[in-house]
Chains A and B, each alone.
Chain A
């Protein structure tokens, strides 16, 4: 049991119908989330990372979205095969999710305590009193000051950081095995971001919970994840343990992402390295590698033929014909 991952996503395909054709937002995505560890799913807007998260909870709005194929196995059980009723018992119970904007994901007309109690009573047979006591305990656990009083607070009476703490308390209400965190700190200030990330690390240790951390910020990944999965235009392009990935990226896109973030002292020219160009339109994908037109290592083959995902080193996957040729990033 120790070695089997908690979550296995295999060949997941999620598509959306649009006025101008169907596009695959998530295209043959596979990765694992080990027990009691954090995996980061990284990529820029439109890469499919959030759709992957919503697919895991089967929360993709349908129509226009549709999970077409693949498997999402939680402890060996394929969530995609479960009837909706059973899926409801998984959601918020075994797998919970927190979102980027805590203001829009809390109901403004109920107190935060009421909303957490609802989550508890939905999944557990408890009395009102017990649920309330548990709610106060949870709010204390996530570090909300004066939990016994704040239980009566409405979302608008709390700050952004406090609201995110409430969201986390709600997500933890039933001690989930997996917490899916979709950009949990993007809307917050740096000092508050640091507080929330620290809280997540603490809670993970305490509750032995797995976290799927979805983010566009590699800096957040560096200090908070064990494994990293990088997505580009619906595909997984690289996955690796975090220190290996930062030391030596094996996909040119990962390298580009790492280099666009300033590190160390600025140089005299003050220029940042960039990835030129833009993400391709998912409705008109090139036949070859999806990153080819922006890639500094492009060869003819890249334009003609899409590379498969290959194991390029033990525990490391890359979808690149020239994975071996990606140089470690320059200092600066």
Chain B
């Protein structure tokens, strides 16, 4: 990876480290931020030539600075291919960053070896989108949830382990008699609960929820969202909540970041971002999301065209070919930086011609 670091520079200098001052230090004396990235990037090689030369690079994540605070949820929204899942995996060090830094609980883990990471892995977990493919069909629920307990030696005796598994199942709203059954015996919603129990087994502080409800039925989505909120309140968990559903993200998040082609285009406190979206892309996403209201006047603000390929992103602001507010001569040429709309608001937008009201 190190050679890559020299090869690539972030296309923009993202603001370092973040903006919004940490107003009150928490009573625990720990830093308020549990997870932060600093101008982190991930380029994947595609179509390599001889010895990997002459190939092209897919810029999945391109200089993102984002943080997640203890006990809070940072929502990450964007369309498929925008890099939101890759960013989640960079935070967990499941992928090695091409450049930039990953800071977990005040400690730079960007270059940590797998061995160094092991004790930290306990403290960060992930919940996947598809509860069908993310549980081993040959393992019982007891084995699935108990595996991490055993690996991290979190139970002294078999009895302790069993009691802990039962407790975890209860926490996610399942009966302990589910323990000796296999994943296929459960519905999608229950499987997602098992996935959550597995993540909780090691008592993590930070969880990446990667589209945790998009594969579920509507009535079950609400159950899982409520469960995640409840667990957050009870256990003080911090979430990175990755989703393409803006409405759900508004519900679960304290802070929200909107990604487009590997970059954050707008971020801020959830209430502010939804009420006063400044970036044309954020506005377009909000307008495109269907609403459960037949009386709503249909907004004809439909974005033209598709998301461009991250292998060949547009010059300047990556959104400019689809942007209704393009400033000719600027947007195609220069990358806008992610600047605060007003000092201290924590609301940032990367746009040459943002909406003002």
A interface residues with partner B (beta carbon < 8 Å) = 44-45, 145, 159, 161-162, 189-195, 197-198, 216-220, 222-223, 242-243, 246, 256-263, 266, 270-276, 278-279
Is the CB–CB distance between A266 and B250 below 8 Å? yes
- Interface digits, B163-198 against A, CB 8 Å rule (1 contact, 0 not)? 000000000000000000000000111100000000
Residues of A within 8 A of B122 (CB): none
Is the CB–CB distance between A190 and B246 below 8 Å? yes
Q: How far is the CB of B279 from chain A (nearest CB, A)?
A: 14
Is the CB–CB distance between B219 and A191 below 8 Å? no
Is the CB–CB distance between B292 and A218 below 8 Å? yes
Is the CB–CB distance between B306 and A243 below 8 Å? no
Once the chains are docked, how many angstroms separate the CA of A222 from the CA of B298? 11
Q: Which of A256, A262, A263 has the most B CB atoms < 10 Å from its CB?
A: A262
Q: A191: which of B217, B225, B284, B300 is its contact (CB, 8 Å)?
A: B284
Q: How far is the CB of B276 from chain A (nearest CB, A)?
A: 13
Is the CB–CB distance between B291 and A191 below 8 Å? no
Once the chains are docked, how many angstroms separate the CA of A191 from the CA of B304? 8
Q: B291: which of A198, A223, A278 is its contact (CB, 8 Å)?
A: A223
Q: How far is the CB of B356 from chain A (nearest CB, A)?
A: 22
Q: What 7 A-B pairs have minimum CB-CB distances, sorted nearest first?
A: A260-B222, A219-B290, A194-B288, A189-B79, A44-B217, A272-B222, A275-B219
Is the CB–CB distance between A44 and B251 below 8 Å? no
Residues of B within 8 A of A259 (CB): 222
**Can you name 22 A-B pairs with beta carbons within 8 Å?**
A44-B217, A44-B218, A45-B217, A189-B244, A189-B307, A190-B246, A190-B289, A191-B284, A192-B79, A194-B290, A194-B303, A216-B218, A217-B218, A223-B294, A246-B294, A260-B219, A260-B221, A262-B250, A270-B251, A270-B252, A274-B223, A278-B187
- Interface digits, B217-235 against A, CB 8 Å rule (1 contact, 0 not)? 1111111011001000000
Is the CB–CB distance between B292 and A261 below 8 Å? yes
Contact (A222, B226) CB under 8 Å given A190-B79, A262-B251: no
The A/B interface has a contact count, at CB < 8 Å, of 115
Q: B222: which of A193, A216, A274 is its contact (CB, 8 Å)?
A: A274
Residues of B within 8 A of A44 (CB): 217-220
Chain A residue nearest in CB terms to B285: A190
Chain B residue nearest in CB terms to A260: B222
Is the CB–CB distance between B295 and A256 below 8 Å? no
Contact (A219, B292) CB under 8 Å given A159-B306, A190-B244: yes
Once the chains are docked, how many angstroms separate the CA of A280 from the CA of B222? 18
Is the CB–CB distance between A242 and B218 below 8 Å? no
Q: A271: which of B226, B284, B294, B303 is its contact (CB, 8 Å)?
A: B226
B6 within 8 A of A: no
Once the chains are docked, how many angstroms separate the CA of A197 from the CA of B223? 28
B interface residues with partner A (beta carbon < 8 Å) = 79-80, 187-190, 217-223, 225-226, 229, 244, 246-248, 250-252, 270, 284-285, 287-296, 298, 300, 302-307
Once the chains are docked, how many angstroms separate the CA of A44 from the CA of B288? 23
Once the chains are docked, how many angstroms separate the CA of A279 from the CA of B218? 12
Q: A273: which of B79, B222, B287, B289 is its contact (CB, 8 Å)?
A: B222
Residues of A within 8 A of B79 (CB): 189-192
Residues of A within 8 A of B285 (CB): 190-191
Is the CB–CB distance between A246 and B222 below 8 Å? no
Q: How far is the CB of B101 from chain A (nearest CB, A)?
A: 30
Once the chains are docked, how many angstroms separate the CA of A271 from the CA of B246? 16
Contact (A257, B218) CB under 8 Å given A270-B229, A272-B225, A272-B251: yes
Q: How far is the CB of B204 from chain A (nearest CB, A)?
A: 21
Residues of A within 8 A of B217 (CB): 44-45, 216
Residues of A within 8 A of B270 (CB): 266
Is the CB–CB distance between B219 and A189 below 8 Å? no
Is the CB–CB distance between B293 and A246 below 8 Å? yes
Residues of B within 8 A of A216 (CB): 217-218
Is the CB–CB distance between A262 and B219 below 8 Å? no
> With contacts A189-B80, A192-B306, A263-B291 known, what are 4 further pairs, Cβ within 8 A?
A45-B188, A162-B306, A223-B294, A262-B250
Once the chains are docked, how many angstroms separate the CA of A216 from the CA of B226? 20
